[in-house]
Amino acid sequence: MDSHYYIYIVLLSFVATYPIRAIPALFISKLNLSGYWQRFLDLVPYTALTALVFPGIFYCVENNQYAAYIGTAVAIIAALARASLSVVVLVSVAAVYVAIVAS
């Protein structure tokens, strides 16, 4: 398949899903919520990401499971160091890449 095909899929997915997520966020950000509900909404992205991504971590690298273990460990350490979500993802992906290239 042409590599541009995948770029089109990613862009189309972005266009289809971003407004669905952004519009409610605009309205919720203007509400005055109690501390409990604010904390609850702050944790939703982390719990959703964990539920969706964690099971797939150990199946993503077919012949090199140690790369998946290294990426998971780096992600956990970065999260414990209070790095932002995007930094955690980028650092863990870089660690998996280095582990695959090194093996």
What pLDDT was estimated at residue 31? 78
Residue 55, C-beta contacts closer than 8 angstroms, at least 6 positions apart: none
Token pair of 99 as six digits = 């582990």
- The number of folded domains in the chain is 2
Verify that 49 and 90 share a domain, yes or no: yes
Q: CB-hemisphere CA count at 13 Å for 57?
A: 22
Verify that 50 and 95 share a domain, yes or no: yes
In a domain, 38, yes or no: no
pLDDT tens digits, one per residue of 43-65: 887 788 788 777 877 777 677 88
Q: What is the mean pLDDT of each run of 10 residues along the chain (103 residues)?
A: 80 90 80 85 81 77 82 92 90 90 84
What pLDDT was estimated at residue 10? 87
Residue numbers of the domain that contains 12: 1-31
Whether residue 95 contacts residue 70, with contact meaning beta carbons closer than 8 Å, is answered with: yes
Return phi, psi of residue 58, to 5°. Answer: -85, -5
The answer to pTM > 0.75 is: no
